[in-house]
Chains A and B, each alone.
Chain A
Amino acid sequence: MMLKATKIETDILIIGSGTAGCFAAITIADHSNAKVIIAEKANIKRSGCLAAGVNALNAYIVAGQTPETYLNYIKNDSEGVVREDLAYTMAQKLNTVTKKMEDLGLVILKDAKGEYVSRGTRNIKINGENIKTILADEVARSNNTTVLNRVNITDYMIKDGKVVGAYGFSLDTNTFYVISAKAVICTTGGAAGLYRPNNPGFSRHKMWYSPFNTGAGYAMGIRAGAEMTTFEMRFIALRCKDTIAPTGTIAQGIGAQQINSLGAEYEKEYGIPKTSIRLYSTVMENKHGRGPCYLKTQGIAQNQEQELAKAYLNMAPAQTLKWIENGRGPAIENVEIEGTEPYIVGGHTGSGYWVDTKRTTTLEGLYAAGDVAGGSPQKYVTGCFAEGEIAAVSAVGYIDGQNNCWPDEVEIDKKLAEVNHFLEDGPSCYSVEELEDAMQKTMDDYAGGISSGYMYNAKKLQVAEDRIDELLELSDNLKAQDLHQLMHIYEVIDRLYVSKILIQHLKARKETRWHSFQENADYPEKDDQNWLKYVNSRLQDGKVEILLRELVKKDEIYEHKNR
């Protein structure tokens, strides 16, 4: 089977209909008559990170707090390396996007006065099992929006240095899509599956982040020469053992502390509590022989246990099933915790596209929002909504006066041939799965995965760099028997590109700024003198160029110069 090209055009193309993509589409429909195509690899109803639901909104300005206090929280947690302009403009919108979601049907817990009930100083309680279907239903209300489900976008369409659309293929028919758009918004999410996962066997995809978010948006940008930022600030989640279910529900919901196998509360021994320290302290306790570590839940009341079981069903059902299957719930047994494999995810850390305050990338015509956009950690779900809104408003402003354009036919034929060569008959020495295993093993062993306690050094990174380049070469010879396998090929290639850039970022930051997230054994200390700056990168002619950029402050409007 060979693919055949079909051309379509629209005003704005949104790639990925997860949290940020849906909110961008809803915003465009609310603010303009622009025609929108959403290209979605799976189906908008449950695609992206929120497929199973989410059980709290973790970024909200509760009573007594302000966008400034939220920004200060991010700055502190990120050890100062944050795009303050991005974090602040995001924080300013957290409450209005939340109100919008409530208006669309999201259930939010309120007190007798009608105020949202907070969980801590930044969180509110919801029933978010259906948050994705609420978004999908609202997107469907717009007559100007077309959703292309099961269309896998592979690369941007470039004309005279501008992004003018994207190429992709259907998972159902032999259609190669050539989509022309006056503006493109990338909302593909982050990257999982770069490293060997916690459950490397049958349950390899039982991970925290969506295993179907394979860094496509990063990789497309990297290949097109977009500037990326802060990939070295990996996100490693502290999660419930085996199920890799979130721990915040227990830690914040019932105030459970982290304890080691001796029953001692250890987190405070490692300095001021921060996201990375909660993980790092657990890694170190295990390293020093005091594991396993737990969330101390033993002895909680029966009604607390029942509510926890419900909360997890609304977000990570495996955890509830595990408690029931074991016959030992959290009231009887403490909940064991562990660190995940490292992910690249801009909704939690600063990794992603280098964008200006309007969320324009360094490629004209291309906007980024949500997990794929960098510089602004701790966005979480509501921050991704906020960025989706900002990017949408910017894109609507940009398309005024722009025309649809197309690359030369020769260029389109070349891209089609690139995809079709994976579908040609012929031998392939390795399967996609073999290359995926090789990539994850390499990253785990040599780029700071679970098995090495998240630590790396320059010599190990050199091994990783060489092997990832070899695997990229090998990936060109992969063969697909069907369209699903073709998607798998692109997923692995995209993750190899993300890994390639990640390794260079890890090499470049010659300090240790975020324990475990970025643990450079050659430079084990934080170095504020030299490294309060962003590590950025750009792929040009096959070589990764590293750029160090000065910090951007809260009230600055950052614009790209010298694109």
Chain B
Amino acid sequence: MSIKIDSQKCNNCGKCRQVCPGNLLYEDATGKTEIRYPRDCWGCTSCVKECNGKAIRYYLGADMGGKGTFLYTRQEGKLLHWIIIDPDGGEKVITIDKSQANAY
């Protein structure tokens, strides 16, 4: 359970670094954001939701059965799109309307 940060896409806005509940994200020597403690990630996706540049990818560790699929999010007004990409590049999107309660 952790995240990977694509340094090409990271624009170093710093929002993810501020929000991480474990204080795990820091600015690296090149001015980009790095996860300094990948094993300490809780998997809450707070950073993923802050990243408008799709730079933060959330994935399941191999010890949890992960197979290389990852997800990121995109905010659009009241909508939160969860974009899930499998290792072959296949995409699945689940959209949640934040103004609607869960059915369960």
Contacts and interface: CB of A to CB of B under 8 A. Distances in A.
* Chains A and B bind each other: yes
Interface of A: 41-43, 45-48, 51-52, 55-56, 107-109, 117, 119, 125-127, 129-130, 149-150, 171, 199, 201-207, 210-212, 242-243, 249-250, 252-254, 307-311, 313-314, 317-318, 320-322, 324-326, 484, 487
Contacts of B40: 204-205, 211
Contacts of B80: 129
Contacts of B22: 42, 205, 211-212
A317 B42 contact: no
B20 to A, nearest CB: 7
A42 B102 contact: no
Interface residues of B, number: 46
Contacts of A108: 101
Contact of B64 (A307, A314, A318, A487): A318
Contacts of A318: 1, 43, 60, 64
Given A119-B104, A205-B1, A317-B82, A212 B41 contact: no
B13 interface: no
A51 B21 contact: yes
Contact of B18 (A43, A107, A207): A43
Contacts, number: 167
13 contacts: A42-B21, A55-B104, A129-B96, A129-B98, A171-B23, A206-B42, A210-B42, A212-B22, A249-B104, A311-B103, A317-B43, A326-B65, A487-B23
A45 B37 CA distance: 20
B56 interface: no
Nearest to B96: A310
A127 B101 contact: yes
Nearest to B100: A127
B86 interface: yes
Interface in B16-74: 18-23, 26, 36-46, 58-67, 69, 71
A201 B63 CA distance: 7
B101 A126 contact: yes
Interface in B84-104: 84, 86, 92, 94, 96, 98-104
B12 interface: no
Contacts of A211: 22, 40, 42
B21 A43 contact: yes
A324 B58 CA distance: 14
Contacts of A46: 19-21, 44, 46
A107 B61 contact: no
Contact of A52 (B36, B39, B45, B65): B45
A205 B99 contact: no
Nearest to B59: A321
